[in-house]
Chain A
């Protein structure tokens, strides 16, 4: 029996027979099978694993195969067909979406009982049963999902039954209502709104009902694409962006910020990664040399600080999202962990600043050996930090006193981790965890001060003899832990001497932070040179951009 029989008579069918329902669900399978990737791409709930489409299609495949088997061998009676559909979907149900589908088929089988055909009223009873069993199968029924769609299908069937609608009209109306429901899922399930998608399973059901409707109306299903309701740009919705969006689960709204930046050279992917640590719903667009960042952030300052490291900030806008935030929290029934401890660091150089932001610093103070921040600068940063507990990284012994004074002028609790170099500061910041309390953070961070050795290479500005080393103006000097170790006319030589002096057998990793006065080409040449000379050490070259020395070096 094929759907063509439906078109032979002028009168549309008033009853669904076994042969018809068989054809209809086979068509549904064929349709959803072509939409697997589209459905997978939307999948963020309940587990963002991108397999809802696969699971629904596999479940429908089992249903379709079982129908075909039954038609070939036994019967095309409605009661037999609905029983095998229920059994096949149950046995092969994959994932949550498969389970809910199998309950849907169970409901149909219950509604059919031993009937050989269904009219609109009887179909409505099937859908009522399907709704009941679908809701009961899920431990914690969540709206904005397949369940909501099934409830809507049941409601529409009931309306059509009372209106005395035809079968065709019933299925056409049902598809229209499903699309509206799918469109509304983000309003019911905040995770979807945050990820800017509709529910994957709900869309899957839309496809399945499109299959039913199309078959009933004698319309083709091959080469048909069912658009995702409510998502105009669904074709461009790629999985990688979903990865960033799913990281935002359980995060909080705060402000919707947009920043426009010119002269950016950093790669879009890298910016996305960093911004998604500061906020969520991150969108980064790089177009005709302008960079646009959109993100939902709790604190705007951190985003702007970071944006400034990328280039020239042309404009920014900030919208308060408190209303959505309350709805979000209400929908979720739980509040989110706020930052317990904030990290403030003194930095020198764009790259160094970016590293501290990436490692979780919420406030940054520009400073350094010849550019100490004032007590009031420090106090202002402490007061604007998002939490009451502050870990402060001075990264220079000459700044500690000012921080101590500032900490006496605030009600906030400030713990100073006495780092004397930026290298130490970075190593400590690696241990920072905003969800830990102040003392736990301090303990972990203080322990890691001594884990690395700090060295630097600077330019000598005059002839002098220091700590027994004779230095001529224009030469490069190598310093470790504040002591002048070596001087030479080339950076290569100073670098080699420093590493030899340090007894490089214990050293595993050397990080070179390129200063602002060196070009990338120059520093890559130094890197090549030193890496080939000390082959048992791993070297890493980072664009630090500091002004106080040619190279900052950490040895560990």
Chain B
């Protein structure tokens, strides 16, 4: 069996993992006004956040159906099956585009498209489940069923510096209760049921970071964990030290940078954790 794994760029997967497991990343389109870039390919995180800091407003578009069709077609030459895992269909049309793309591949190899109901390394957690199953020699059906049964075990939280980016992109959903009025606070959001929900309203960043750690602790031992940041990697160190008490063999959680696609909605100064619970 040769099974290929596809994710989209909203997964924020670190390149070490991409290379290690030969994962294919479909970039979303990130736009600054008229200028379009392939997320992470033509526009890297550092440049992206620099432009955001200088006052430019980004937006994202889903990859074209044809892009998916072409990627699947090119993979089908060397693979017997494809599992393609994507950002929550309630947050982006990417999943739908992938499903449409897969329908247009004139080849016999089976393609399984998964709605992760997640974003960022929440998608990454599922890609790792897939990668390990593939490594284990599982067939496509087994890989697919392992990924599906892992979906409810993934937890993803983010501490944002501001809700402005999420609001602008229309992804706030039920997070409306987090919009500050007279009192300032730093919103913590949770991805559940594929949508962004308000989770906590810590009044300071330090409290917010503590809250992220406490929240992870409540899930007990973990199969896998990741810590994400958009602009300040230094802030992740405390979270990493606390989370490695929960991971198997106390290994450090994965560290991932929120790329331009996700950063369009999370903004600068965002921190997050993605957990694969038991």
Which A residues form the contact surface with B (CB < 8 A)?
44, 46-51, 54-55, 58, 90-96, 98-99, 102, 137, 139, 242-243, 246-247, 249-250, 270, 273-274, 276-277, 351, 354-355, 358-360, 426-427, 430-431, 433, 508-509, 511, 538, 540, 542-543, 556
Contacts and interface: CB of A to CB of B under 8 A. Distances in A.
A54 B96 contact: no
Contact of A247 (B97, B173, B201): B173
B65 interface: yes
B64 A508 contact: no
Interface stretch (B179-187, B226-234, B240-248): B179-187
B107 interface: no
A249 B65 contact: no
Given A137-B100, A358-B181, A509-B203, 15 more contacts: A92-B66, A94-B62, A94-B64, A98-B64, A99-B96, A99-B100, A242-B170, A273-B179, A273-B180, A274-B181, A276-B179, A358-B180, A430-B183, A509-B204, A540-B184
Contacts of B97: 93-95, 99
Contacts of A246: 170, 172
Interface residues of B, number: 44
Contacts of A542: 182-183
A273 B201 contact: no
A47 B177 contact: no
Nearest to A357: B181
A51, A351, A543, A556: residue with the most chain B Cβ atoms closer than 10 Å: A51
Contacts of A98: 64-65
B69 A556 contact: no
A556 B166 CA distance: 28
Interface in B58-85: 59-62, 64-66, 69-70
Contacts, number: 125
9 contacts: A47-B93, A49-B169, A55-B62, A94-B64, A247-B174, A250-B174, A273-B181, A430-B201, A430-B202
B181 A556 contact: no
Nearest to A247: B176
Given A51-B59, A90-B65, A91-B65, A431 B167 contact: no
Contact of B93 (A96, A273, A538, A556): A96
B168 A430 contact: no
A-B pairs with the 10 shortest C-beta distances? A91-B66, A358-B181, A48-B170, A93-B65, A247-B176, A95-B93, A430-B201, A273-B179, A99-B100, A509-B204
A448 B89 CA distance: 36
A183 to B, nearest CB: 24
A277 to B, nearest CB: 6
B92 interface: yes
Contacts of A137: 100
Contacts of A556: 203-204, 207
B206 interface: yes
Nearest to B104: A90
Nearest to B177: A277
B91 interface: yes
A66 B139 CA distance: 41
Contact of B182 (A51, A95, A276, A354): A354
A276 B178 CA distance: 11
Contacts of B207: 556
Contacts of B60: 49, 51
B100 to A, nearest CB: 5
A360 B177 contact: yes
B99 interface: yes
Contacts of A351: 182
B171 interface: yes
B194 to A, nearest CB: 11
B133 to A, nearest CB: 26
Given A102-B65, A360-B177, A540-B184, A508 B93 contact: no
Given A51-B61, A99-B65, A93 B179 contact: no
Contacts of A270: 181
B185 to A, nearest CB: 7
Contacts of A247: 172-174, 176
A137 B96 CA distance: 10
B200 interface: yes
A49 B171 contact: yes
Interface string B210-238: 00000000000000000000000000000
A50 B59 contact: yes
B167 A358 contact: no
A247 B166 CA distance: 11
B139 to A, nearest CB: 26
Nearest to A137: B100
A47 B92 CA distance: 7
B90 interface: yes
A248 B104 CA distance: 36
Contacts of A508: 204, 206
Contacts of B91: 47
A359 B181 CA distance: 9
A48 to B, nearest CB: 4
Nearest to A358: B181
A355 B176 contact: no
A431 B200 contact: yes
A360 B31 CA distance: 36
Nearest to A94: B64
A509 B183 CA distance: 12
Given A430-B185, A538-B204, A96 B179 contact: no
B170 A91 contact: no
Contacts of B70: 91
Contact of A358 (B96, B183, B198): B183
Contact of A92 (B64, B92, B181, B202): B64
Nearest to B203: A509
- Which of A247, A273, A431, A540 has most B Cβ within 10 Å? A247
Contacts of B62: 55, 94-95
A247 B170 CA distance: 8
B48 to A, nearest CB: 18
A171 to B, nearest CB: 28
Nearest to B168: A243
B189 to A, nearest CB: 13
Contacts of B59: 50-51
Contacts of B200: 431
A355 B198 CA distance: 18
B61 A95 contact: yes
Contact of B179 (A44, A102, A277): A277
Give the interface centre of B168, B172, B182, B184 by most chain A CB atoms within 10 Å. Answer: B182
A543 B181 CA distance: 12
A295 to B, nearest CB: 13
Nearest to B170: A48
Nearest to B99: A139
Given A95-B93, A98-B64, A360-B177, A355 B183 contact: yes
Contact of A93 (B64, B182, B198): B64
Nearest to A544: B182
Contacts of B90: 47
Contacts of A249: 173
B182 A355 contact: yes
Contacts of B92: 47, 49
Contacts of A540: 184
A393 to B, nearest CB: 15
